[in-house]
Structure 1
Amino acid sequence: MSTERSSAHSRSPHPRRTIPSPRRLLAAAVAAAGLVALPAHAVGTRSFELRSLEDLKGGDLTGVSVDSNGAVRAGLTLGATPLPDATSIWSSVVLPDGTVLLGTGNEGKIYSVSGGRVALVATTGQMAVSALALAEGGDVIAGTFPEGKLFRLPRGAGNGGPAKVFAELPDTEDVWGLAYDPRAKALYAATGSDGKLFRVDAAGKAQVYFDSDEPHLVSVAVGDDGAVYAGSNGKALLYKLTAPGRATVLYDFDADDVKAIAVAPGAKGGAIYAIANKYAEAFAPPKRNRSGPPSPQPARAQKPGKGVLMRFDRSGVAEKMMSDDDTHYVSLGLGDDLAPYVGTGAEGQLYTVSDNHVARLVADTDERQVGAFMMAGKRRFVATTDPAVFHEVKGVGGPDAVWTSKVLDAGLRASFGRLAWRSDGALELETRSGNTDAPDGTWSPWSTALAAPGDAKSPPARFAQIRARWRRDPGAVLREVKLSFVTDNARAVVTSIEAAPKGQTKPSRSSLPPSGGEAPKPVSALQLTWKVDNPDQDDLRYRLSYRMEGQSTWRSLLKPGEKVTRAEHVWDTTALPEGEYRILVEASDELANPPERTLRHSLESGTVLVDNTPPLFRALALQGRRLTGEVADGLGPVARIEVSIAGLDEWRPIFPSDGVFDEAVEPFEADLGAIVPPGAHLIAVRAYDSAGNVVTRDIEAR
């Protein structure tokens, strides 16, 4: 895409774009800033590599263009003429003498722009002038809402007074689009809220040409063969009409509206272009607001939608030319070469796309959206909304063409190395740096320009920008930019350590299992996991040690030569004496830094229970159906006692004498009359400790 911007526009590089929070990890900053690190992990020298349209378009584009192949070249030079009494521009038309008329949303006023001067031409008293069309003899027809009126401005007339009503369309609230057919000397009006297309003759007599089933028809265009095309809001249908009421659906978009239509002359194959949008919120025409200005576009959600540009040949074959998931499309037109141009509803950008689907950003304005434009003929311009500004296209290229990158975030303070680029022709590149996410007075000045790749001269900082100038060769093309850097080494900090039996998610010191539930399986291996705050995302090596509670000597938990680089490890405790232990985890960034830069941090865990020995029955007796006994465990506590008739897999819990399992020795006494029926039976009694170790004893009941 090609980007062209006015040298009269001096703006901080893309104030609309947000920069990652200073607390964001470097990995996220890498993804957001187009940063490439070699190798894949954040190790040593890294680089910002800007090579795609998304990478290159994010900053300030003054008089340059960027295409989808990642080529930046000198582009359009735009002027800037504000409309001081307007905030939104909805429509435009160019008069034969080159004067531009702009329809605005400020009480439905029409302004003229000529020779850099803005003048009020007419007022309609409506909410907005949503459409303008040049009719027979140079007269201008204006469509408005919310009263569905058409106004006529005779050629040469317009002193700022009220415009005269040309036609009132019956049962119509909104006029969204106008198209004039010079052969038939008829005007077509796309309207809502009944979704009708009107045909209006030179005398202002209106007839329904097509009555759709949609709530709104929002766009209309006429082909050189007399075919009329209309786009709807609702199901986003593109209609083709060859006679009154004779409509076919040329295309059913997966969208909410067909915002605009443009038809190329038959000499170029008569291609039909249409832009369609899917919005985050439902369409609802704006209401008149006496206390303030209306919304700049009809019910456009504050959140940008998604736009698509389609091309159709005269037989109806469709081809998607361009789409954008980050913004909806507002305006559509053709250039001198009949290439389509599209104005966006966010970021105030203008794109074009070639037959081979190379898209170019050709204008990137400071305003929110491109309400209207003209890229054909001698009077070319881009008219924007919020605020309303008329940008005249003054030329292409020039010594003031400047490309400025988006703000590049290294995540931490960085020292910058070589600035390199690929280009066709001679360019000058500069850098600057700072520690705020938007350039301000604390940033360094722009460095001395480099005419060939070399060391960047900007001081260490977290953020950086790159700037290219076309002063030496207006025809130069910039294709790729790379800035190498090394961040300060930040220490990785171990923040927590957990130990749980392998295969379980709960720590080994979890709450005691409830009686009657599924008992845990005894496991001698512990799954150790830990969390690390690693600001610069260096590759880390971990060393693990253990000691028994009450001892001071730490012993390596790892085998000789074993290297741990993941924040987890399985610890086999089979050969260890039972007891309470502590784990020490040390994190080192030695894999990413030379010895003099290596940093370490260690953290000691809470107590970890190692218990591989089952409890034992100190006593067990059965008198009649009364069972008594005592269970003891080396570490404790005893966690569960259960009984079952041998051969039946139905275990019933028994409580200890004091009713609570909380000690290493638990006496118990229970009446089994409700469990064991009369007769001789073999009774199984089993006991668990809190580590899941189990012991089972049998006793005979008579």
Structure 2
Amino acid sequence: MEASLLKSAASWSILILFGLAGSVRADGTKFWTSQSRSDFMSGKSEGVSILAEDALVLAPEVKMLCDTGEPFIWCMITDGKGTLYAATGHDGHVLRIGAKGDTSIVYDALEPEATALALKEDGSLYVGTSPEGRVYRLKGGAGEAGNFFDPEEKYIWSMLPAPDGGLYVSVGSPGKVYKVNDKGEGRLVLDSQEQHIISLALDREGNLLAGSSGSALLYQVDKSGTVSILYDSPLKDLRAILVDKENNLFAGAFELQSPGDQAKQMMVQQGGQSPAQNQAGEDSSSGEESPRQGRQDFILRPRPGGRGPSANSEIYFFDRDRFVTRIWRETGEAVMSLGLNSDDRALFVSRKEDNNLFAIDRLGEVALLNSFQEIEVTGFLRDSGRTLICTGNPGKIYEIGTHYRHSGTFTAKVLNAGIPSAWGRLEWEGETPANTRVFFQTRSGNTDYPDTTWSPWSQALRGLPEEKISSPARKNLQWKATLESDDVSITPSLAKITVSYLSRNRPPMISPIRLMPQGLYIRKPPLPPDDSDKGQKYPYEVAELMNNKKPGATDNPFQGKKEYQRNLRMVGWNANDANGDELLYNIHYRGIAEKTWRLLALGIDENSYILDTENMADGKYVLKVTAYDSLDNAGERAMFTERISPEFVVDNTPPAVRGLRLDKLNGGKGFEVTFETQDETSNIDRVEYALDSGDWMPIDPEDRITDSREEKYRISLPGISAGEHTVSVQVYDDVFNTVIVRRSVTLP
């Protein structure tokens, strides 16, 4: 069944290509569809698996083998004969677990954490402890333990029997790997520059593989003792290494988003505060350090609540030639442990601070396998055909069965319709083999998260044509699916769920209308050559995908290339619709003194308009923009909103120049220029003159402030040579209407 958790049944009648968050029909009916992995992952599964093919099925049966009573299980191993050993914290106990789940303490270490275990063929059990890391040996797996190996380093992270009978021990800090003989004499085989070596594995050729904390390096130590680096992960911790029967590798890495010694942080965060920080916040030390107190910054205690730093994690697949492919990448969670299923085709993945258990194949297809009440799944073990997992907070051991559960539920995320809505039908697609069933319940409320004010769960819905959702009309809706099977060898499947609803229609909203300065406008990007689908209608599931805009919202009307043309006036606005309806616009105008609106544009879908004022009479005007939603709402449901623009001036008449005179100066060596300017509509903007077709030069009015429709000018031009001369005067108003006049004078 494990393989089927990544592949849907061949009899499924539908292939899901993509998911829609919501679609709409022309009558205003909207549809909330859940059919993608991301849709399902945002809900809550209890006894339901989420397949890589975007479907829900019953989860595999999970049976608790034992509750150890310990806060944490760090790792477990098997003797291959049905007996398990578990290393626990925070009292340094090593437990023996029988086939029926009976437990006994085989070793009680002085150190608070038993962090690593190894079994040799002679039955000797090796226990690694931290802090003040030591390795103890229990001959025959029980009895009195001897201090077998005591390195200088403080932490024992992992142990592994060597093919030649030795024992590999990885330590920190600093990160090293020792090979220890039967006499407890350690020989250094890997001396890294890393803080810790936290994971060990042997490939099928007998090469040692080691993962580090610091730079997340994957080391290989071959049989000759040569050290090489197979991979340098961009993260910090290479926490888990697995080798399948074909000598392919899987490795999991993560990086906490906080500074410091990450491997030690990971241990402390899994358990929470140290005994030096009791719940009252006082120093609990008595002045004498007991052996079990050890190092206070490492001893773990149950976490009082809350989450640690966020993390990034990645999982890599290395083929037999050690070419690497990243098959998992996730932000916000750290990979806690990895395990292979019975045929090595799927990888089990657990994450820190997450009670979800995932299955992933070599192509990176991910399924949510199961969820647990415990905070963390800390390890996996294959034992005599069984797949076992151990957990922390509290420490338990479970067996993942080979059959489906009889029942499970999936609760979807809350649908926020935005405004009170009437609920229609719930339709679904999937498979219900004989003796299996799927039914649904709904509830509704006005708060973002369900609380006591929500309606109770409804009676069961089967998705029949005559069934309607009975939950009252409110802003939010949630559905829950229950999957059942009388036969644990088969499961129903649920691939697509669609809820129809009709929100109370709300009128569109238009922001204040903005007018660009006269002549300035935005050139929009050209339309594609083929615009033949304008106005085309599509099935409701296609319509939203054809529209790249967010429904009911508009783009910035003033984005694009700015250009100038004197007679153009651009107007723009933003609009939105609470129902997400598509909006169209009508544009009207009228003079300030007029009462009748005149049509400029009808049914445009752009939130801007360029008005050509060249043929309009001079005066003050306003525009009216009407937004309406009749494309998505039939008849009386359609609503509209109007907004009036600020006043703007149309001025197509250039200013006038009156009384232009050229009077000779005393002595006849120059002349004085005087004139007046006037504009009926706009203020004078600037005035220039040119002598004998020379460069244009600016002139200030007599009061030196250009700020009105009438201005007087006077300028003396001395030192002019005898003969005929011409003075040109050019006047601009505020909207760049222009006039040029000329006068000539002859000096003796």
The normalised TM-score by structure 1 is 0.79
Decide which moves more: 45-54 or 349-358.
Answer: 349-358
**How far apart in 2 are the matches of 1:423 and 1:537?**
30
1:596 aligned counterpart, secondary structure: helix
1:54 aligned counterpart, secondary structure: helix
Aligned-pair CA distance for 1:504: 3.8
**How far apart in 2 are the matches of 1:373 and 1:107?**
22
Aligned partner (choices 334, 343, 361) of residue 340 of structure 2:
334
1:137 aligned counterpart, secondary structure: coil
Aligned-pair CA distance for 1:481: 2.0
Decide which moves more: 72-81 or 58-67.
Answer: 72-81
- Counting only pairs closer than 5 Å after superposition, residues 314-329 of structure 1 correspond to structure 2 as 315-325=321-331, 327-329=333-335
Aligned partner (choices 612, 623, 629) of residue 572 of structure 1:
612
- After superposition, give the CA deviation of every residue in 1:546-587 in whole Å (9 maximum; x if it has no partner): 2222333322223xxx32122212222222112221222222
Match in the other structure for 2:495: 479
**How far apart in 2 are the matches of 1:246 and 1:678?**
104
**How far apart in 1 are the matches of 2:227 and 2:422?**
65
- After superposition, give the CA deviation of every residue in 1:487-521 in whole Å (9 maximum; x if it has no partner): 22122121211121454479xxxxxxxxxxxxx95
1:633 paired with 2:686, answer: no
Contact 1:197 1:208 in 2 (8 A): yes
1:76 paired with 2:60, answer: yes
Aligned-pair CA distance for 1:192: 3.6
1:555 paired with 2:624, answer: no
Match in the other structure for 2:650: 610
Provide closer, same or farther for how the CA distance between residues 658 and 477 of structure 1 changes in structure 2, counting only shifts above 3 A. Answer: same
- Counting only pairs closer than 5 Å after superposition, residues 163-178 of structure 1 correspond to structure 2 as 166-170=148-152, 172-175=153-156, 177-178=157-158
Aligned-pair CA distance for 1:241: 1.5
1:48 paired with 2:32, answer: yes
**How far apart in 2 are the matches of 1:450 and 1:615?**
78
Aligned partner (choices 428, 447, 461) of residue 450 of structure 1:
461
Aligned partner (choices 374, 387, 392) of residue 398 of structure 2:
392
Provide closer, same or farther for how the CA distance between residues 394 and 503 of structure 1 changes in structure 2, counting only shifts above 3 A. Answer: same
Say which one has the larger Rg.
2
Aligned-pair CA distance for 1:3: 13
2:573 aligned counterpart, secondary structure: strand
Provide closer, same or farther for how the CA distance between residues 376 and 622 of structure 1 changes in structure 2, counting only shifts above 3 A. Answer: farther
**How far apart in 1 are the matches of 2:309 and 2:698?**
62
**How far apart in 2 are the matches of 1:192 and 1:420?**
57
Aligned-pair CA distance for 1:249: 2.8
Match in the other structure for 2:86: 101
Aligned-pair CA distance for 1:46: 2.4
1:190 paired with 2:236, answer: no
1:656 paired with 2:701, answer: yes
Aligned-pair CA distance for 1:545: 1.8
Decide which moves more: 332-341 or 355-364.
Answer: 355-364
Contact 1:261 1:272 in 2 (8 A): yes
1:422 paired with 2:465, answer: no
Aligned partner (choices 262, 274, 286) of residue 251 of structure 2:
274
**How far apart in 2 are the matches of 1:45 and 1:418?**
11
Match in the other structure for 2:130: 144
Match in the other structure for 1:17: none
1:402 paired with 2:409, answer: yes
Provide closer, same or farther for how the CA distance between residues 399 and 578 of structure 1 changes in structure 2, counting only shifts above 3 A. Answer: same
Contact 1:381 1:390 in 2 (8 A): no
**How far apart in 2 are the matches of 1:458 and 1:235?**
54
**How far apart in 2 are the matches of 1:38 and 1:273?**
45
**How far apart in 2 are the matches of 1:552 and 1:118?**
93
CA RMSD of superposed structures (Å) = 4.1
Aligned partner (choices 613, 622, 629) of residue 589 of structure 1:
629
> What 5-or-longer segments of structure 1 have no aligned partner?
6-31, 507-519
Provide closer, same or farther for how the CA distance between residues 418 and 634 of structure 1 changes in structure 2, counting only shifts above 3 A. Answer: same
**How far apart in 2 are the matches of 1:131 and 1:158?**
18
- After superposition, give the CA deviation of every residue in 1:584-630 in whole Å (9 maximum; x if it has no partner): 22221111111121122212222122222232323445664765433
Aligned-pair CA distance for 1:138: 4.8
**How far apart in 2 are the matches of 1:68 and 1:660?**
75
Contact 1:638 1:690 in 2 (8 A): yes
> What 5-or-longer segments of structure 2 have no aligned partner?
6-17, 269-273, 279-296, 524-562, 664-669
Aligned-pair CA distance for 1:372: 2.4
Provide closer, same or farther for how the CA distance between residues 453 and 382 of structure 1 changes in structure 2, counting only shifts above 3 A. Answer: farther
Provide closer, same or farther for how the CA distance between residues 581 and 51 of structure 1 changes in structure 2, counting only shifts above 3 A. Answer: same
Identity of aligned residues (%): 26
Decide which moves more: 483-492 or 683-692.
Answer: 683-692
Contact 1:98 1:379 in 2 (8 A): no
Match in the other structure for 1:343: 350
How many residues are matched?
640
Provide closer, same or farther for how the CA distance between residues 355 and 522 of structure 1 changes in structure 2, counting only shifts above 3 A. Answer: closer
- After superposition, give the CA deviation of every residue in 1:224-282 in whole Å (9 maximum; x if it has no partner): 43211112344433222213640233334444442210122xxx322222123355555
Aligned partner (choices 32, 35, 51) of residue 21 of structure 2:
35
Match in the other structure for 1:468: 481
Aligned partner (choices 686, 695, 701) of residue 739 of structure 2:
695
Aligned-pair CA distance for 1:72: 1.9
Provide closer, same or farther for how the CA distance between residues 189 and 64 of structure 1 changes in structure 2, counting only shifts above 3 A. Answer: same
Match in the other structure for 1:22: none
**How far apart in 2 are the matches of 1:347 and 1:43?**
43
Contact 1:227 1:241 in 2 (8 A): yes
- Counting only pairs closer than 5 Å after superposition, residues 513-532 of structure 1 correspond to structure 2 as 523-532=566-575
Contact 2:521 2:569 in 1 (8 A): no
One-letter code aligned to 1:494: I
Aligned-pair CA distance for 1:157: 5.6
